[in-house]
Amino acid sequence: MRKISKPCGFHCVKIKDIGVSFGDQVILENINLHIHCGQLLAIIGRNGAGKSTLIKAILDDIPHTGTVEFKDVEDGKIQKIKIGYVPQTLNIEENSPMDVYDLICSFRFGHPIFMKSKKIYAEIKEALEEFEAGDLIDKQVGRLSGGELQRVLLSMAVMDNPNLLLLDEPVSGIDKNGMDLFYEKMEYLKHNYDMSIVVVSHDLDYVAKYADQVVLIDKEVMAEGTVKEVYNSPEFKNVFGNTQFDISTSSNSTHIYDVDSAKRHVHRRVVEEEQTPFEAGYKGRKEQE
């Protein structure tokens, strides 16, 4: 596995003019994003804003306009991009006869999964160990917890040394510890691999804490910039409530990451007038760190 100590900062991924429409219905238009290696960009937006559609367009899974370019800034060369993708869920039943070895082997190796290869087994185990998932290799994929599955998928995505890591953060099945571990791993990747990271996130607290850049989308880019810039923008308040978003209070509350509570979470911010303005909360948090 090619691992470097630091991202070089000279590679960038340019997402140019992405547009998606089904028939007359425009889902996304004029999406332009620009990400450097070693950076984490978070995509946020209300339900149905087109976040997952954007991921699918970047992956070239659905018909779209626009391009994804991978460029070496130093010499200006455009290279072929390698994308690592971590989906929200897998289509696997609980008793599916597939262990983690089978899962990774079928995506990453040509050796048929009905015959075991010791060499590949060792390679997969090594990749899993980087994400504290080495013990899971013989476990059935359908019986993994949400956090375990995410670590497995992450090791699989990173194995191939992608230039761009795309993550669709799951909205359910991961507890707070799992989320913390997940974002700590993102930090680790940012500093130890030469790649750009794009996360579609449903949790504004984690975005505030870990993202270098934030993009708020709703059919098009509504606001972009640093966490501070976006969270203070009128567009952000339009989507997530007119009240000030307070990080320090909300991050102390209990999180259950399912869709409904995520909605309630956002909804509560709208209904309850929180006392501390976002700005103060954000600064307070920074000072704590």
Partner 1 sequence: MAGYFSEIFRYDFMIRAFVAILVITPLFGMLGTMIVHRKMAYFSDALGHSALTGIAIGVVCGIADTSLSMVIFAVVFAFLLNQINRKRLVATDTLISVFASCSTAIGLAILSFGGNFSKYSALLVGDILSITSREIIYLMVIFVGTLVFWFLAINKLNAISVNPTLAKSTNISVRVIEDVFAIIIALVVTLSIKWIGILLINALLILPAASARNISMNMREYHGYAIIFSVFSGVIGLVMSYFNNVATGPMIVIIASVIYFATYIYGRKRR
Residues 98-117 contacting partner 1, CB under 8 A: 98-99, 101-103, 105-116
* CA–CA separation, 44 and 119 (whole Å): 41
Residues 6+ apart with CB under 8 A from 186: 40, 197, 199, 210
Total interface residues for partner 1 by CB under 8 A: 34
The correct pick among 19, 34, 46, 92 for binding partner 1 (CB under 8 A) is 92
Site track for partner 1 across 39-78, x = CB under 8 A: -----------------x--xxx-----------------
196 near 11, Cβ under 8 Å? yes
CA distances from 19 to 68, 220, 254 (A): 12, 9, 37
Binding mask 139-158 for partner 1 (x = CB under 8 A): -x------------------
Strand partners of residue 225: 214
> What's the CA gap between 99 and 113, in Å, rounded?
10
- Answer for which of 72, 129, 160, 187 binds partner 1 (CB under 8 A) is 160
Please give the single-letter amino acid code of residue 218. D
- Helix, strand, coil distribution of the chain in percent, nearest 5: 40, 25, 35
Nearer to partner 1, 59 or 280 (CB): 59
- Nearest approach in angstroms of CB 287 to partner 1 is 41
Taking the least distance from each CB to partner 1, the nearer of 113 and 266 is 113
Pick the closer one to partner 1 by CB: 77 or 80. 80
Q: What are 96's two structure tokens? A: 């599916």
Per CB under 8 A, residues contacting partner 1 are 56, 59-61, 83, 85, 87, 89-92, 95-99, 101-103, 105-116, 138, 140, 160
